[in-house]
Each structure stands twice: as structure tokens, then as C-alpha cells.
Amino acid sequence: MGLNYNELDAEKLEFVVVAAAGDLPNGERLFVEIDEFRIVVFNIAGKLFAIEDICSHDNGPLGDGELETEFEVSCPRHGAHFDVRNGYAMSMPAVEDIQAFPVRIEDGNIEVGLPID
Ligand code: FES
């Protein structure tokens, strides 16, 4: 089981600016690479969600997948579904959750919380 959104320790997060809020309109996605993290940020009906852009099954480009339901993205490689809210692996062939990251808007910028050692 991978780290889960809810398992990230708020005391050990560093929020990093990834874009201006206006650069990610409703229905769009943003791909960012920060240190070792490859992340896709979704704007779904005005709410922002950030997950790893790497499928836990076989490293598929998860951020290129279709949104199957409001919060469910499918991996374009073999079709596993993940919940964008918490990284939960919802269907085979993925059995491991992926990392989800907290997102916030501060001073007009989108910030993603990354775990710091
Ligand atoms: S790589 Fe994503 S389902 Fe196989």
C-alpha cells in the first residue's frame, strides 16, 4: 500500500507553487515535475486534486487517462481505476494505491504539498 493522502503528516509538508490559479481552469489538468515527483493536478468542477502521474501497476501515464466518473481516473495502459481524491486503487490490475498530495490556493497560486524528509 502506497502512502495515502490522509497519511501525509501535515507537519512534514512543504507547499510548492506549481502554477497561477488562473492557469488551471475547470476541466483541465496540469503536469508538473518537482524533484523526484511526477504529479498531475486536476481541476474538477472547481476543486483541485493532485496525484502521482505514475500508475502503480506498471508505471502507466495515469494523468493521460479518462475521468470515468467525477473522481475516478482510468490508466490508459491497462485500465486500472484510481480515486483522484486519495490515490486509492479502485480496480485491477492495480493493487497498490498511489500517492495523492494536498493542494491549496495561496495568494492566487496553486500549491502542492510535498513530503519533506
Ligand atoms: S500501467 Fe496502469 S493499469 Fe497497467
* Cell numbers that stand for 74 in this block: 482510468
94 lines ligand 1 (CB under 6 A): yes
The residue whose CB lies within 8 Å of the most ligand 1 atoms, and thus the one to mutate among 57, 81, 92, is: 57
Chunk the chain into consecutive blocks of 10 residues (it has 117) and report each block's average pLDDT, rounded to whole numbers: 60 92 96 94 96 96 94 97 95 94 95 87
Beta bridge partners of residue 99, listed in sequence order: none
For residue 78, which atom of ligand 1 is closest to its CA? Answer: 3
Contact call for residues 78 and 58 (beta carbons, < 8 A): yes
Query: What is the distance between the alpha carbons of residues 44 and 15, in angstroms, rounded to a whole number?
Result: 21
Signed CA dihedral, 15, 21, 27, 28: sign only:
negative
Residue 9: CB atoms within 10 A of its CB come to 8
Contacts of 56 (CB under 8 A, 6+ apart): 2, 80, 89, 94, 95, 96, 97, 98
Query: What was the pLDDT predicted at 4?
Result: 55
Put simply, whether the predicted model's pTM sits higher than 0.85 gets the answer yes
CA 74 / ligand 1 centre spacing (Å): 9
Helix (H, G, I), strand (E, B) or coil at 7: helix
87, burial (CB in 10 Å: exposed 0-12, middle 13-18, buried 19+): buried
Number of Cβ atoms within 10 Å of the Cβ of 3:
15
Give the per-residue pLDDT at 12.
84
Query: What domains does the chain contain, in order, with CATH numbers?
Result: 5-115 (2.102.10.10)
Gap from CA of 52 to ligand 1 centroid (Å): 13
Whole-number Å distance, alpha carbon 99 to ligand 1 midpoint, is 15
Q: Is 57 in the pocket of ligand 1 (CB under 6 A)?
A: yes
Residue 14 pLDDT: 92
Torsion of CA 43, 105, 15, 52, to 10 degrees: 0
Residue 65 is classified by DSSP as: S
| pLDDT confidence of residue 115 | 87
Ligand 1 and 73: CB distance under 6 A: no
